[in-house]
A and B are shown apart, each in its own frame.
Chain A
Amino acid sequence: MPRKNIIELIGINKSYQNYKALNNLNLKIPKGKIFGLLGPNGAGKTTLIRILNQILIPDSGQVLFNGETLSQKNIIDIGYLPEERGLYRKMKIGEQAIYLARLKGLSKKEAKEKLDFWFDKFEISHWWNKKIEDLSKGMAQKIQFIVTILHEPDLLILDEPFSGLDPVNSKLIKKEIIELKKKKTTIILSTHDMNSVEEICDEAAIIHHSNKILEGKVSDLKTRFQNNEWKISYKGSSMAFSNAIWGGWKLISHGSNDDINTAIIELNDSLTMNDFLKGIIEKISIIEVSKNIPTMQDVFLKATTNE
């Protein structure tokens, strides 16, 4: 039976000279999913990513890759696009793409074939003999993305892959990430951009102050953080609305646009929406009632500030 998780972290600790970057971290990253690795700046994400890439060695704990202890031989199974990324400025693009691919174990011939395919696909073949210093930042980033995925790793670690990209290129990269997922690649996406987490991530974990504080399916996380918050749009007097029922709810916000009012209310456990509506239905005319689902942004903020 194939294993469910590509990565299992068990009790990982990592300290620098005078501060602890990761505290007894346990984390499972399921195979074939896009996994969002979230957390404020300095939470320990980069340390975690560097441990996965064997750039850093944890002080204690175990890292399993497909059930076996992570070792040098896994280097070719992982593709890594760091947040702080760059290329040799004076080296020709084609040359350094081949060099980087060969460091990941491809032969010169394989590297050339695969690069030709991707350069064609991204319509950048004419860049082959250019130098990085002649390209814009966004262009360089495309090259970096290609180089990262070229050796078709099982695990792809992307740290802020969309930063610095315009919406068109951002969409292009997103499309490729989803394509890769279809080909059974596991992707760890570390980002502050919660919209893309919502858009493409299946699961996510939030790391805060060196600890994992949240983990699960994105949809579950949102449900877990949802409270009984509703949006009601209506016509009629707001006085009538607020006088309707005395207890069991509270008004979070209220606004009006022309003659349409919108109220956000939170219900206590003692009150259902049906009960609430019964109390007001005769005094106002209701246009829309909907439940407020939290965004990942809300989840992130609540998780990291309420801690």
Chain B
Amino acid sequence: MNNIGLIIKREYSTRVKKKSFIIMSILGPLLIVGFLAFTVYLTKNNNSSYEILVVDEAQLFEGKLRNNEKYHLEWSPIDKSYEQVQEIFKSNEKLNLLLYLPSNLIQTNSMTAKCLYKTIPSTSAQKHLTSIINEAIELYRIEKIGIEEEKYRSIKTRVNLDVIDIENAENKNIQRKAYVGYIFAFIIYIFIFMYAIQVMKGVIEEKTNRIVEVIISSVKSFHLMMGKIIGIGLVGLTQFLIWITVISTLSFAILFANFPEKYSIENQIQTDNIIENSNLLTNNNEKIDEITQFVLYQIDWGNMFLFFAIYFIGGYLIYGSLMAAIGSAVNEETDTQQFMIPLTIPLIFSLSMIPQVIDNPSSNIAFWLSEIPFTSPLIMMVRIAMGIGEGGVELWEIFLSIFLLIITFIICTYISGKIYKTGILLYGKKPSYRDIYKWIKT
């Protein structure tokens, strides 16, 4: 066992000393923070406005469609037909959209208006247009019945639905928490991939260097494989710790630089009160403020890091050991493709299933994907972020998935150990799946 320690130490220290590790430790967090800042900046500055040409066949909506600085409406000449207006729309570069309101629009409750575009309008623009048309129709109708607009405005409501777990009223903001889970799942995905592939590369390196025979004359091949997997896994955890430290320092520095008075310790109590009232805030700056409040006080970072460590280690050990087997079976990296595909598919699949899991975290598919060991590291991370305990993911589900992860890891390392033992000493022909099956059997 002393020897496996030596191997772990070598794998760890040679990698941590590498330039690429140091660069990744600094660049990774910078990229993440930069990317987040960039998206915030983009959403904040999404000020593209629309020049909209309206064809109002029944001539009923003028003055009723709300105009504002983002959506600038222009009424088409009455004497032109719809077809002629289309020509005008095409030839005028300034115009972005053509809104066609057919004359029968007000007659029933489910008619279709048309919106012709040159470049497709954003979903929020489409929503906005639908809502102002609905409003215009309503205004037209109340006028007909003889209700004053003022009265109409007074009965018009805009309700926010706060979805709250009866057993756990604290568990609010589920969707936002889900996105935090998404980010964690994504980091797990990157880390599993990055470090499992390093295991494979390390094995191929030792095999092509031909040093492997010297080493396995001193240690058991299984110890060499495990030492490598554990050593590289520790590098991954180190990297993650550095990232967390750098990211939180950076974020805190940015927050503190922007709102120095809010984040001093004396004002901590005061800030808690602000969260309580945060639902009422709509102003843009205050909205960002609300997000930082959410990030700082509503996410259980302790749990997130703990489960990140567990699911990263579990997933990494499974994928890492299988990658070690692949590395031992081939002679050079270009031969690995064929064997890597079955491993990458479940990872990419789980990543692509996350939106569905966020949409309904207690669905059957969410349950199974968070239990199956090849997908659970990513999916369970999302479910955990959305809340543990009553209403959220149950503790027994977490324990079961961890248990399955461990069982699978043991089976995978057992099989990989067998492949590794034979593969590492064979040079020449690239083995087929059948050859590998035979290695496992012997």
Contact of A100 among B218, B221, B442 (CB under 8 A): B218
Query: Which of B170-178, B208-216, B258-266, B408-416 contacts its partner?
Result: B208-216
Cβ of A85 and Cβ of B217 under 8 Å apart?
A: no
Q: Is B427 close to A, CB under 8 A?
A: yes
B1-12 vs A, CB cutoff 8 Å, 1 = contact: the mask equals 001001100100
Give residues 214-230 of B contacting A (CB, 8 Å). Answer: 214-221
Cβ of A82 and Cβ of B6 under 8 Å apart?
A: no
Cβ of B210 and Cβ of A103 under 8 Å apart?
A: no
Contact of A99 among B6, B210, B220, B438 (CB under 8 A): B6
Q: How far apart are B232's CB and chain A's nearest CB, in angstroms?
A: 15
Contact of B427 among A53, A54, A84, A90 (CB under 8 A): A84
Residue in chain B with minimal CB distance to A79: B217
| A103-B219 contact given A17-B438, A84-B427, A91-B14, CB 8 Å threshold | yes
Q: Is B281 close to A, CB under 8 A?
A: no
Residue in chain A with minimal CB distance to B424: A55
Cβ of A82 and Cβ of B218 under 8 Å apart?
A: no
Contacts of B216 in A (CB 8 A): 55
Contacts of A72 in B (CB 8 A): 220
Residue in chain A with minimal CB distance to B442: A17
Contacts of A112 in B (CB 8 A): none
Contacts of B3 in A (CB 8 A): 103
Cβ of B218 and Cβ of A88 under 8 Å apart?
A: no
B126-166 vs A, CB cutoff 8 Å, 1 = contact: the mask equals 00000000000000000000000000000000000000000
Contact of B217 among A55, A87, A99 (CB under 8 A): A55
Q: Is B340 close to A, CB under 8 A?
A: no
Cβ of B217 and Cβ of A88 under 8 Å apart?
A: no
Contact of B6 among A53, A55, A103 (CB under 8 A): A103
Give residues 30-50 of A contacting B (CB, 8 Å). Answer: 50
Chain B interface bracket (under 10, 10 to 19, 20 to 34, 35 or more): 20 to 34
Residue in chain A with minimal CB distance to B3: A103
Q: Is A12 close to B, CB under 8 A?
A: no
| A80-B14 contact given A85-B211, A87-B211, A102-B6, CB 8 Å threshold | no
Q: Is B365 close to A, CB under 8 A?
A: no
B255-286 vs A, CB cutoff 8 Å, 1 = contact: the mask equals 00000000000000000000000000000000
Contacts of A50 in B (CB 8 A): 425
How many A-B pairs with Cβ below 8 Å? 59
Contacts of A75 in B (CB 8 A): 217-218
| A86-B211 contact given A100-B218, A103-B6, CB 8 Å threshold | yes
Cβ of B209 and Cβ of A88 under 8 Å apart?
A: yes
Cβ of B214 and Cβ of A85 under 8 Å apart?
A: yes
Cβ of A82 and Cβ of B215 under 8 Å apart?
A: no
Contacts of A17 in B (CB 8 A): 438, 442
Contacts of B209 in A (CB 8 A): 86-89
Q: How far apart are B218's CB and chain A's nearest CB, in angstroms?
A: 4
B206, B216, B218, B220: residue with the most chain A Cβ atoms closer than 10 Å: B218
Cβ of A84 and Cβ of B215 under 8 Å apart?
A: no
B357-384 vs A, CB cutoff 8 Å, 1 = contact: the mask equals 0000000000000000000000000000
Q: How far apart are A88's CB and chain B's nearest CB, in angstroms?
A: 6
Contact of A82 among B206, B213, B221 (CB under 8 A): B213
Q: Is A104 close to B, CB under 8 A?
A: yes
Cβ of A80 and Cβ of B211 under 8 Å apart?
A: no
Contacts of A102 in B (CB 8 A): 6
Cβ of B427 and Cβ of A80 under 8 Å apart?
A: no
Cβ of B10 and Cβ of A80 under 8 Å apart?
A: no
Residue in chain B with minimal CB distance to A147: B214
When chains A and B are docked, how far (Å) is the Cα of A144 from the Cα of B214? 9
When chains A and B are docked, how far (Å) is the Cα of A80 from the Cα of B218? 9
Q: Is A149 close to B, CB under 8 A?
A: no
When chains A and B are docked, how far (Å) is the Cα of A72 from the Cα of B223? 13
Contacts of B220 in A (CB 8 A): 72
B213, B216, B219, B220: residue with the most chain A Cβ atoms closer than 10 Å: B213
Q: How far apart are B14's CB and chain A's nearest CB, in angstroms?
A: 6
Q: How far apart are B209's CB and chain A's nearest CB, in angstroms?
A: 4
Contact of A88 among B7, B211, B219 (CB under 8 A): B211
Cβ of B210 and Cβ of A85 under 8 Å apart?
A: yes
Cβ of B213 and Cβ of A55 under 8 Å apart?
A: yes
Q: Is A78 close to B, CB under 8 A?
A: yes
When chains A and B are docked, how far (Å) is the Cα of A147 from the Cα of B215? 11
Contact of A78 among B10, B211, B217 (CB under 8 A): B217
A143-177 vs B, CB cutoff 8 Å, 1 = contact: the mask equals 01001000000000000000000000000000000
Q: How far apart are B436's CB and chain A's nearest CB, in angstroms?
A: 12
Q: How far apart are A28's CB and chain B's nearest CB, in angstroms?
A: 22
Give residues 38-97 of B contacting A (CB, 8 Å). Answer: none
Residue in chain B with minimal CB distance to A90: B14
Contacts of B14 in A (CB 8 A): 88, 90-91
Cβ of B427 and Cβ of A103 under 8 Å apart?
A: no
Cβ of A82 and Cβ of B10 under 8 Å apart?
A: no
Residue in chain B with minimal CB distance to A56: B425
When chains A and B are docked, how far (Å) is the Cα of A87 from the Cα of B213? 10
Contacts of B219 in A (CB 8 A): 103
B residues with a Cβ closer than 8 A to A are: 3, 6-7, 10, 14, 205-206, 209-211, 213-221, 425, 427, 438, 442
> 16 A-B residue contacts at CB 8 Å?
A17-B438, A50-B425, A55-B213, A55-B221, A82-B213, A85-B210, A85-B213, A86-B210, A88-B205, A89-B205, A91-B14, A99-B6, A103-B215, A103-B219, A104-B218, A147-B214
Using A81-B214, A102-B6, A103-B215 as known contacts, list a sample of 12 further A-B pairs with CB atoms less than 8 Å apart, ordered by residue number in A: A55-B216, A55-B217, A78-B217, A80-B217, A85-B214, A86-B209, A86-B211, A87-B211, A88-B14, A100-B214, A103-B3, A103-B219
Closest A-B pairs by Cβ, 3 of them: A86-B210, A86-B209, A103-B218
